[in-house]
Structure 1
Amino acid sequence: MIRSDLWAAAFVRRHNDIGNICVVVRKGDPIAGQIFIEIDHLNGTVSLLTPAPSTAREEGDEDRLFVRRFDHAEPQAIRERIAREADFDPDLWVIAVEMRGDDPGVTMAKG
Protein backbone atom coordinates (compact mmCIF):
# COMPACT_ATOMS: atom_id res chain seq x y z
CA MET A 1 0.00 0.00 0.00
CA ILE A 2 1.29 3.45 -0.87
CA ARG A 3 1.99 5.70 2.12
CA SER A 4 -0.79 8.13 3.05
CA ASP A 5 1.44 11.21 2.81
CA LEU A 6 2.58 10.30 -0.71
CA TRP A 7 -0.95 9.46 -1.88
CA ALA A 8 -2.28 12.75 -0.45
CA ALA A 9 0.51 14.78 -2.07
CA ALA A 10 -0.17 13.20 -5.47
CA PHE A 11 -3.94 13.75 -5.16
CA VAL A 12 -3.48 17.42 -4.22
CA ARG A 13 -0.99 18.03 -7.01
CA ARG A 14 -3.17 16.34 -9.64
CA HIS A 15 -6.20 18.46 -8.72
CA ASN A 16 -4.26 21.71 -8.54
CA ASP A 17 -2.70 20.91 -11.92
CA ILE A 18 -6.16 20.58 -13.53
CA GLY A 19 -7.41 23.83 -12.00
CA ASN A 20 -9.25 22.65 -8.89
CA ILE A 21 -8.26 24.17 -5.57
CA CYS A 22 -7.10 21.29 -3.38
CA VAL A 23 -5.39 21.35 0.02
CA VAL A 24 -4.60 19.05 2.91
CA VAL A 25 -6.79 20.30 5.75
CA ARG A 26 -5.60 17.78 8.32
CA LYS A 27 -2.44 15.69 8.31
CA GLY A 28 -2.62 12.28 9.89
CA ASP A 29 -0.28 9.35 10.18
CA PRO A 30 2.15 9.63 7.25
CA ILE A 31 2.31 5.89 6.67
CA ALA A 32 -1.13 4.41 7.27
CA GLY A 33 -3.59 7.20 8.12
CA GLN A 34 -7.09 6.89 6.68
CA ILE A 35 -7.87 9.55 4.05
CA PHE A 36 -11.17 11.46 3.89
CA ILE A 37 -11.93 13.64 0.86
CA GLU A 38 -14.22 16.63 1.28
CA ILE A 39 -15.61 17.90 -2.05
CA ASP A 40 -16.96 21.45 -2.08
CA HIS A 41 -19.25 21.65 -5.11
CA LEU A 42 -19.15 25.48 -5.09
CA ASN A 43 -22.94 25.65 -4.74
CA GLY A 44 -23.28 25.50 -0.95
CA THR A 45 -23.13 21.70 -0.76
CA VAL A 46 -20.33 19.33 0.16
CA SER A 47 -19.78 15.61 -0.40
CA LEU A 48 -17.60 13.37 1.76
CA LEU A 49 -15.66 10.35 0.55
CA THR A 50 -14.32 7.98 3.18
CA PRO A 51 -12.32 4.77 2.98
CA ALA A 52 -14.46 1.81 1.96
CA PRO A 53 -14.95 -0.89 4.57
CA SER A 54 -12.87 -4.03 4.09
CA THR A 55 -16.07 -5.95 3.30
CA ALA A 56 -16.48 -3.83 0.15
CA ARG A 57 -13.07 -4.80 -1.22
CA GLU A 58 -12.75 -7.39 -3.94
CA GLU A 59 -9.68 -9.15 -5.24
CA GLY A 60 -7.77 -6.88 -7.58
CA ASP A 61 -9.24 -3.65 -6.18
CA GLU A 62 -7.13 -0.52 -6.13
CA ASP A 63 -4.90 0.35 -3.20
CA ARG A 64 -7.27 3.07 -1.96
CA LEU A 65 -10.98 2.45 -2.30
CA PHE A 66 -13.61 5.02 -1.29
CA VAL A 67 -17.35 5.27 -0.59
CA ARG A 68 -19.52 8.40 -0.73
CA ARG A 69 -20.76 8.93 2.86
CA PHE A 70 -22.47 12.25 2.16
CA ASP A 71 -23.64 13.46 -1.23
CA HIS A 72 -24.28 17.20 -1.72
CA ALA A 73 -24.95 17.72 1.99
CA GLU A 74 -24.84 20.78 4.22
CA PRO A 75 -21.24 21.73 5.12
CA GLN A 76 -22.01 21.57 8.86
CA ALA A 77 -22.98 17.88 8.60
CA ILE A 78 -19.62 17.12 7.00
CA ARG A 79 -17.68 19.08 9.64
CA GLU A 80 -19.51 17.23 12.41
CA ARG A 81 -18.81 13.83 10.85
CA ILE A 82 -15.11 14.61 10.40
CA ALA A 83 -14.87 15.85 14.00
CA ARG A 84 -16.43 12.61 15.30
CA GLU A 85 -14.07 10.54 13.16
CA ALA A 86 -11.04 12.55 14.32
CA ASP A 87 -12.01 11.93 17.95
CA PHE A 88 -12.10 8.20 17.20
CA ASP A 89 -9.04 8.12 14.89
CA PRO A 90 -6.62 11.02 15.42
CA ASP A 91 -4.38 9.67 12.63
CA LEU A 92 -6.83 10.43 9.80
CA TRP A 93 -6.16 12.80 6.91
CA VAL A 94 -8.64 15.26 5.43
CA ILE A 95 -8.19 16.60 1.92
CA ALA A 96 -10.47 19.38 0.66
CA VAL A 97 -11.07 19.96 -3.04
CA GLU A 98 -13.24 22.57 -4.73
CA MET A 99 -14.79 21.31 -7.94
CA ARG A 100 -18.10 21.58 -9.75
CA GLY A 101 -18.24 17.95 -10.87
CA ASP A 102 -18.75 14.77 -8.89
CA ASP A 103 -15.74 12.76 -10.04
CA PRO A 104 -12.65 13.37 -7.92
CA GLY A 105 -10.71 10.73 -9.82
CA VAL A 106 -10.53 8.07 -7.11
CA THR A 107 -11.68 4.45 -7.18
CA MET A 108 -15.12 3.99 -5.66
CA ALA A 109 -16.35 0.76 -4.09
CA LYS A 110 -18.91 -1.11 -6.15
CA GLY A 111 -22.23 -1.23 -4.54
Structure 2
Amino acid sequence: MLGFAILLAFNFIGYVIQMGLHLPLPGNVIGLILFTAALFAKVVKLEWVEEAASLLTRHMMLFFIPYTVGILLFLPIIGANLVAICGGIVGATAVVLIVTGWISSKLGKEGEKYGG
Protein backbone atom coordinates (compact mmCIF):
# COMPACT_ATOMS: atom_id res chain seq x y z
CA MET A 1 0.00 0.00 0.00
CA LEU A 2 2.90 2.35 0.69
CA GLY A 3 4.05 2.05 -2.93
CA PHE A 4 0.63 3.03 -4.31
CA ALA A 5 0.44 5.93 -1.86
CA ILE A 6 3.84 7.23 -2.98
CA LEU A 7 2.98 6.91 -6.68
CA LEU A 8 -0.39 8.63 -6.19
CA ALA A 9 1.21 11.37 -4.10
CA PHE A 10 3.69 12.22 -6.85
CA ASN A 11 0.88 12.15 -9.41
CA PHE A 12 -1.18 14.52 -7.24
CA ILE A 13 1.78 16.85 -6.64
CA GLY A 14 2.35 17.00 -10.38
CA TYR A 15 -1.27 18.01 -10.99
CA VAL A 16 -1.11 20.65 -8.25
CA ILE A 17 2.07 22.14 -9.76
CA GLN A 18 0.57 22.08 -13.25
CA MET A 19 -2.66 23.78 -12.14
CA GLY A 20 -0.89 26.25 -9.85
CA LEU A 21 1.73 27.36 -12.36
CA HIS A 22 -0.48 26.90 -15.47
CA LEU A 23 2.22 24.86 -17.20
CA PRO A 24 1.55 23.42 -20.68
CA LEU A 25 2.93 20.05 -19.48
CA PRO A 26 0.45 17.45 -18.16
CA GLY A 27 0.40 17.03 -14.40
CA ASN A 28 1.11 13.31 -14.52
CA VAL A 29 4.27 13.96 -16.56
CA ILE A 30 5.41 16.54 -14.01
CA GLY A 31 4.74 14.04 -11.25
CA LEU A 32 6.71 11.37 -13.11
CA ILE A 33 9.66 13.73 -13.52
CA LEU A 34 9.55 14.57 -9.81
CA PHE A 35 9.28 10.87 -8.92
CA THR A 36 12.27 10.02 -11.10
CA ALA A 37 14.27 12.85 -9.51
CA ALA A 38 13.29 11.58 -6.06
CA LEU A 39 14.48 8.08 -6.98
CA PHE A 40 17.83 9.38 -8.23
CA ALA A 41 18.22 11.62 -5.16
CA LYS A 42 17.50 8.58 -2.94
CA VAL A 43 14.56 10.40 -1.32
CA VAL A 44 12.35 7.48 -2.36
CA LYS A 45 13.77 3.97 -2.19
CA LEU A 46 13.02 1.64 -5.08
CA GLU A 47 11.96 -1.11 -2.68
CA TRP A 48 9.10 1.08 -1.45
CA VAL A 49 7.43 1.30 -4.85
CA GLU A 50 8.73 -1.76 -6.70
CA GLU A 51 5.83 -4.07 -5.88
CA ALA A 52 3.12 -1.51 -6.74
CA ALA A 53 4.88 -0.49 -9.96
CA SER A 54 5.29 -4.13 -10.96
CA LEU A 55 1.58 -4.78 -10.41
CA LEU A 56 0.62 -1.74 -12.49
CA THR A 57 3.02 -2.76 -15.26
CA ARG A 58 1.67 -6.33 -15.37
CA HIS A 59 -1.88 -5.03 -15.86
CA MET A 60 -1.02 -2.12 -18.15
CA MET A 61 -3.28 -3.39 -20.93
CA LEU A 62 -6.33 -2.53 -18.81
CA PHE A 63 -5.37 1.15 -18.97
CA PHE A 64 -5.65 1.16 -22.77
CA ILE A 65 -9.25 -0.11 -22.95
CA PRO A 66 -10.83 3.38 -22.84
CA TYR A 67 -8.58 4.57 -25.68
CA THR A 68 -9.45 1.53 -27.77
CA VAL A 69 -13.17 2.14 -27.26
CA GLY A 70 -12.66 5.79 -28.18
CA ILE A 71 -10.90 4.84 -31.40
CA LEU A 72 -13.77 2.50 -32.30
CA LEU A 73 -16.19 5.37 -31.79
CA PHE A 74 -14.36 7.46 -34.39
CA LEU A 75 -13.76 4.61 -36.84
CA PRO A 76 -15.81 6.23 -39.65
CA ILE A 77 -13.75 9.42 -39.42
CA ILE A 78 -10.50 7.46 -39.28
CA GLY A 79 -11.60 5.40 -42.29
CA ALA A 80 -12.38 8.52 -44.30
CA ASN A 81 -8.92 9.92 -43.58
CA LEU A 82 -6.97 6.65 -43.66
CA VAL A 83 -4.70 7.65 -46.54
CA ALA A 84 -3.71 10.91 -44.86
CA ILE A 85 -3.14 9.17 -41.51
CA CYS A 86 -1.02 6.40 -43.02
CA GLY A 87 0.88 8.91 -45.16
CA GLY A 88 1.65 11.02 -42.12
CA ILE A 89 2.84 8.02 -40.13
CA VAL A 90 5.02 6.64 -42.94
CA GLY A 91 6.33 10.11 -43.86
CA ALA A 92 7.20 11.06 -40.29
CA THR A 93 8.90 7.71 -39.71
CA ALA A 94 10.95 8.10 -42.91
CA VAL A 95 12.03 11.63 -41.96
CA VAL A 96 13.06 10.51 -38.48
CA LEU A 97 15.07 7.58 -39.89
CA ILE A 98 16.79 9.75 -42.51
CA VAL A 99 17.69 12.52 -40.06
CA THR A 100 18.89 10.03 -37.45
CA GLY A 101 21.06 8.23 -40.01
CA TRP A 102 22.50 11.50 -41.30
CA ILE A 103 23.32 12.76 -37.79
CA SER A 104 24.89 9.46 -36.71
CA SER A 105 27.02 9.34 -39.87
CA LYS A 106 28.22 12.92 -39.20
CA LEU A 107 28.98 12.06 -35.58
CA GLY A 108 30.83 8.92 -36.71
CA LYS A 109 33.06 11.00 -39.00
CA GLU A 110 33.70 13.50 -36.19
CA GLY A 111 34.74 10.64 -33.90
CA GLU A 112 37.23 9.36 -36.48
CA LYS A 113 38.89 12.79 -36.60
CA TYR A 114 39.63 12.64 -32.91
CA GLY A 115 40.77 9.01 -32.85
CA GLY A 116 37.41 7.60 -31.72
Give the TM-score normalised by the residue count of structure 1.
0.22
Larger relative helix fraction: 2
Asked which structure has the greater RCO (Cα within 8 Å, sep 6+), the reply is 1
The structure number with the bigger radius of gyration is 2
Larger relative strand fraction: 1
Give the TM-score normalised by the residue count of structure 2.
0.22
